[in-house]
Chains A and B, each alone.
Chain A
Amino acid sequence: MTLLRHTSADQDVQREALTVNPAKTCQPIGAMYAALGLHRCLPHSHGSQGCCAYHRSTLSRHYKEPAMAGTSSFTEGSSVFGGQANLLAAIENIFTVYDPDVIAVHTTCLSETIGDDVPQIVEAAIDKGLLPEGKMVIHANTPSYVGSHTTGFATMTKAMVDYIAQSSGAEKIRDQVNLIPGWVEPADMSELKRLVKLMGLDPVTFPDTSGVLDSPQTGIHEMFPAGGATVDSIRSAGDSCHTIALGPICSGPAAKALFAKCQVPQTTLPLPIGLKATDQFIMKLREINGGFVPDEIMTERGRLLDLMTDMHQYFYGKTAALWGDPDQLVSLAELLITLDMIPKFVVTGTPGKKFFKRMGDVLGDHAQACKVDQGSCADMFQLHQWIKSDPDKVDLLIGNTYGKYIARDEDIPLIRHGFPILDRIGHQHFATVGYRGTTRILEQILDAFLDRQDRDAPESGFELVM
């Protein structure tokens, strides 16, 4: 069973030039996901149609929703002479037929390497009168040989700032904050907006895939579902009094760009998964709203804390292996630490300098007991090697669907979290951020442990009350 048994314990495989079973994927899919969080926006992949087909399929498999996107459909000719003609034709066709408000172009490896200058092509399109009144084309450069899918997400989010956000010159709006939620599920975006509103603030959220990739069944195929951040709201982001960016990798660049462009002060926070990180989020909002936290939020926090105390007896010393996106991993690791658990192994394929430091900060005293890696060779093969060669099996796996092979081979429970989740349905409807979202993760973790205990218990030890 090669696939299940990625590796064996006695193998200490040194690799130079090779990724085996990756813990990341490529930039454009992130850009596509972000662009879907713009209201009436058609993401457009500037390259050959294969990439676009894969990105759409993968998004569809994860969100169980149609993921619309156009493609420049490169031919051999375009890769020699450049893709200008294709993009011009695409812009014309898309506005004529699909009538979006925005086309969000991202490049693929191919168009990047040829060196197509997208802004210049867009200008040409404007000169030729291909852009109808009030419509716009934004763009992000997303070569996949740099960064990962999270980079693509960040770049497209930043493009929303670069192209759309404006400062009207008037005073900043005191109760309007920008919320850049990072790569999370649509339900997370809803939950974050809810919290900001409860704090008496008016969130300008972008991207916002809620209502797009968790849209209701209406009996109609909506090319552009009701959700998403509108161009007008993003435009007003320049007048907000503050920007909160969740996750430095996915959201940081947009927040910084908005500061540079419109002088909106910004704070970059970890994704609010877990009590501590959510506290940070609420505290920041409290600073902005002048110091008030509504009872409702205090109650939610209290409930989470109550749940944590109810559950704590089961968590001491339990170990976990995590993989996925850096922003997610840092917050998850912190959550586990607060539960008295040990995040023993952590890998992300996404390269980037600050990850070790961030992990070190949340791990604190546990840093010694934890192995962390990132980059090309930090993949599922590596993770499996670590797990195999560790004499004490970890108790839990947390990560995307690709961990299921390890879960089965090693007989370790798996909680699906992150992107992509290809083999379960419904996750897009359940938030894992905020106090309420965290309760869901806690429930999943404890269920995993207790289900395991029930399964493995001898008959004499199989108990009704646990």
Chain B
Amino acid sequence: MREAIDILDARRRQVHTKGAQPFQLDCEKHSVAGSVSQRACVFCGSRVVLYPITDALHLVHGPIGCAAYTWDIRGAQSSGSQLHRMSFSTDLREKDVIYGGEKKCETALIELIGRYRPKAAFVYATCIVGLIGDDLEAVCRRVTAQTGVETIPVHSEGFAGSKKDGYTAACAALDRLVGSSESPPPDGPSINILGDFNIAGETWVIRDYYERMGVNVISTITGDGRVDDIRRAHHAQLNVVQCSGSMKGLARLMKQKYDIPFVHVSYFGLEDVSKALYDVAETFNDPAMMQRTKRLVRDEISAVMPRLRRYRDALQGKKAAVYTGGAFKAFSLVRSLRTLGVQTVIAGSQTGNPQDYQQLESLCDDGTVLLDDTNPLELAKFIDQTGADLLIGGVKERPIAYKLGVAFCDHNHERKRCLAGYEGMVNFANEVYSSVCSPVWSLSPRKQHASSVKRSIAPGPLVTADAGLPLNAKVPQCPTAATAPSPGSDSQACGVCQLKAHCSGLAAQETETA
């Protein structure tokens, strides 16, 4: 345990420094009352997961706040309907709280369904609804019968747990849709994309990769999601699950019910996205598809590597703090940062479980501070102690980083640029670079407070590096990408991108071409 850091006593076991003692980290605990937790509620969990279903109606049954705060904050883009972005609330008043809100909810649903003719409707129960005991199941049954539009209650009473439990409630709601379509299965290999929410159009990037591999994407759950596609999702031969925290539940249900296997993937970072595509190709056991996948990976990596190298040169030796909602994203971030020459010195999440943290620990270097469900005070102190140059987190973390005079990168709902896939890695590198190496930090008093932090202003031309290589530069190839992948193999990391499994020859080749 680090000294000189006051941590709530009850939280001591939720902080661990790698290498300092045998690994043990408490997690999955309820937040300590009185701590300034960065966590949210069940409703929040359900809302973020279901929100991107664009042609469904989303009615928040409760007082106004819950709806107001979730009005169009998610940046989950749609290729068509925008209905999901509207904010509908029953705006419960005192008399509803006393006499019950069922009638109001029913009237609201019928009105909205009449006006918007959505493909389905979700009704979110907030804390108060749980408390006054409205029977949402009955309301939904009646509305479905009357309107013919399937109306699904989401049991997301805020107090009934944490965000995670909201994911479970969302999966239960989705489970009601899946399998309800009569349409025939598509020909050829097919998958569902689970757990990508199309922030900044990321689902589109991923979908495109799979289609180039020759895989049918039946449904995207829930990024740019469509009700009819989700109804047909049971026809898929494989579920590809990202953001396992939120969507593993649905994948498990579909495994039980329809015997659809699932794989866990991440689309962040070259290593992870390549592994994702190879893993999917492998399950279909089709040499032609594998060939296409290899070509895709090779082409994409070759295109982005030179651009990444420039960022890495500038960022080499910088230190980052990572604090994410789910733990899974933290793994990808630690690896992606390493690709950029940035060392992760603090890693934590709001909702990790013991396995997650075990894995996170094994990924990190000695001395890395691991945190579960942390608070601003702790974050600030550890950032100071470790001399981190960058914080990666969400909306509540951004101003904390800035106050400290530390760079920030949003890897949550508010990211505005696509960070998934290969091109996403370049965007990520650019974002990290443009923040970490901004001259504004050199003006910050933090320089005086923390002598351990040395900032160097990177040379000018880098700023435009994103535009691509000079015309005469040779584009290095990743030779191993052309050979069969060896997921999990521990071949020497390539030193450029650390793509252990797929890119280990690049360093050698680079020296030749240099």
Residue A44 CB within 8 A of the other chain:
yes
Pair B403/A66 contact, Cβ less than 8 Å:
yes
Q: State how many angstroms separate the Cβ of A130 from the closest Cβ of chain B.
A: 11
Say yes or no: A220-B449 contact (C-beta < 8 A), given A53-B40, A146-B93: yes
Q: Please give, as numbers and ranges, the residues of chain A lying within 8 Å of B404 by CB-CB distance.
A: 219-221
B contact residues around A22 at 8 Å (CB): 64, 67-68, 71, 87, 89, 91
The 8 A CB mask of B77-102 against A (1 = contact, 0 = none) is 00001110111111111101100000
Partner of A89, one of B34, B69, B91, B159: B34
Q: A51-B41, A57-B396 are in contact. Are A90 and B446 (CB under 8 A)?
A: no
Q: In the complex the two chains form, is B398's CB within 8 Å of A60's CB?
A: yes
CB neighbours of B35 from chain A (8 A): 70-71, 73, 93, 97
A108 contacts which chain B residues (CB < 8 A)?
127
| Stretch binding the partner chain, chosen from B103-111, B174-182, B270-278, B291-299 | B103-111
Most buried by B among A50, A75, A97, A98: A50
- B60, closest chain A residue (CB): A19
Contacts of B41 in A (CB 8 A): 48-51, 53
Which residue of the partner chain A has the closest CB to B401? A221
Contact between chains at A217 and B376 (CB < 8 Å):
no
Cα A379 to Cα B392 in complex, Å, equals 36
- Chain A residues, Cβ within 8 Å of B62: 109
Nearest residue (CB) in A for B9 is A96
**Interface size class, chain A:** 35 or more
> Does A56 have its Cβ within 8 Å of any Cβ on chain B?
yes
Given A2-B85, A78-B159, A110-B131, decide whether A50 and B377 contact each other with a Cβ distance below 8 A: no
**A25-33, A301-309, A340-348, A450-458 - the one binding chain B:** A25-33
Residue of B nearest to A90 (CB): B34
Known interface pairs A93-B33, A114-B131, A221-B380; A145-B68 also in contact (CB < 8 Å): no
- Which of chain A's residues have a CB closer than 8 A to the CB of B457? none
Q: How far is the CB of A156 from chain B (nearest CB, A)?
A: 16
Contact (Cβ within 8 A) B69 A54:
yes
User: Which of A75, A223, A349, A376 is the one whose CB lies under 8 Å from B376?
Assistant: A223
Out of A13, A42, A70, A76, name the residue touching B159 (CB < 8 Å): A76
Interfacial chain B residues near A92, Cβ < 8 Å: 34
- Structural contact, A145 and B67, CB atoms closer than 8 A: no
Within 8 A of B (CB), among A92-146: 92-94, 96-98, 108-110, 113-114, 143-146
In the complex, the answer to whether A18 meets B446 with C-beta atoms within 8 Å is no
Cα–Cα distance between A104 and B91 once the two chains are bound (Å): 26
B445 near A219 (CB under 8 angstroms)? yes
> Does B211 reach chain A (CB closer than 8 Å)?
no
Q: Which B residues lie within 8 Å of A349 (CB)?
A: 64
Say whether A3 contacts B37, CB under 8 Å: no
Query: Which B-chain residue is minimally distant from A5 (CB atoms)?
Result: B82
Task: Flag if B6 contacts A97 (CB, 8 Å).
Answer: yes
A145 x B33 contact (CB < 8 A): no
Task: Find out whether the CB atom of A1 lies under 8 angstroms from the CB atom of B44.
Answer: no
B69 adjacent to A68 (CB under 8 Å): no
A3-B72, A90-B33, A110-B127 as given contacts; A54 in contact with B65, CB under 8 Å: yes
Interface residues of B in 253-295 (CB under 8 A from A): none
Residues from chain B with a CB closer than 8 A to the CB of A28 are: 65
A215 CA to B445 CA, complexed, in Å: 14
* Set of chain A residues within 8 Å of B38, measured between Cβ atoms: 53
B405 proximal to A (CB < 8 A): yes
B361 CB, nearest partner CB in chain A, Å:
26
Measured CB to CB, the nearest residue on chain A to B32 is: A93
B-side contacts of A109, CB under 8 Å: 62-63, 65, 97, 126-128
Interface set, chain B 1-25, CB cutoff 8 A to A: 6-8, 10
Complex-state Cα separation, A18 to B110, whole angstroms: 11
The reply to whether the CB of A358 lies closer than 8 angstroms to some CB of chain B is: no
The reply to whether the CB of B415 lies closer than 8 angstroms to some CB of chain A is no
- What's the Cα separation between A50 and B34 when bound, in Å? 14
- Bitwise, B120-136 to A at CB < 8 A (1) or not (0) is 00000011101110000
Within 8 Å by CB of A65, from B103, B162, B399, lies: B399
Given the complex, which residues of B lie within 8 Å of A4, measured CB to CB? 82
Chain A min CB distance to B134 (Å): 13
Shortest distance from the beta carbon of B31 to any chain A beta carbon, whole Å: 4
The reply to whether B107 and A16 contact each other, CB–CB distance below 8 Å, is: yes
Contact, CB under 8 Å: A75 / B90 = no
Q: Verify if A222 is at the interface (C-beta below 8 Å from B).
A: yes
Interface pair B376/A2, CB less than 8 Å apart:
no
Would you call A76 and B160 a contact (CB within 8 A)? yes
Indicate if the CB atoms of B71 and A402 lie closer than 8 Å.
yes
Docked Cα-Cα span, A17 to B108, in Å, equals 5
Asked if residues A70 and B34 are in contact (CB atoms below 8 Å), the reply is: yes
In Å, the complex CA distance between A20 and B403 comes to 36
Bound CA span A459–B437, Å: 43
Report the separation of the CA atoms of residues A420 and B396 in the bound assembly, to the nearest whole angstrom.
Answer: 16
Contact indicator A146/B94 (Cβ below 8 Å) = yes
Q: Is B447 an interface residue (CB 8 A)?
A: yes
B437 to chain A, nearest CB (A): 18
Contact between chains at A376 and B91 (CB < 8 Å): yes
Q: Does A210 contact B (CB under 8 A)?
A: no
A69 surroundings in chain B (CB, below 8 A): 36
B63-A145 in contact (CB<8A): yes
A219 to B97, CA, bound (A): 46
Confirm or deny: B469 has a beta carbon within 8 angstroms of a beta carbon on chain A. no
Interface residue? A47 (CB, 8 A): yes
B88 touches A19 (CB 8 A): yes
Query: Which of B42, B85, B94, B405 lies in contact with A219, CB distance below 8 A?
Result: B405
Q: Which residue of B lies closest to A74 (CB)?
A: B159
By the criterion CB–CB under 8 Å, are A73 and B40 in contact?
no
CB–CB B40/A49 < 8 A: yes
Q: Could you pull out 15 A-B pairs where Cβ atoms are within 8 angstroms?
A: A3-B72, A17-B111, A48-B127, A54-B69, A64-B402, A68-B36, A71-B35, A97-B8, A98-B36, A109-B63, A113-B128, A219-B404, A219-B445, A220-B446, A221-B376
Contacts A109-B126, A219-B445, A221-B400 known; 20 new A-B pairs at CB < 8 A: A2-B86, A3-B82, A6-B86, A16-B107, A17-B90, A18-B112, A26-B63, A26-B65, A49-B41, A50-B44, A53-B39, A53-B396, A54-B65, A54-B69, A70-B35, A75-B159, A110-B159, A145-B96, A146-B94, A217-B445
Question: What 3 A-B pairs have minimum CB-CB distances, sorted nearest first?
Answer: A50-B41, A26-B65, A219-B446
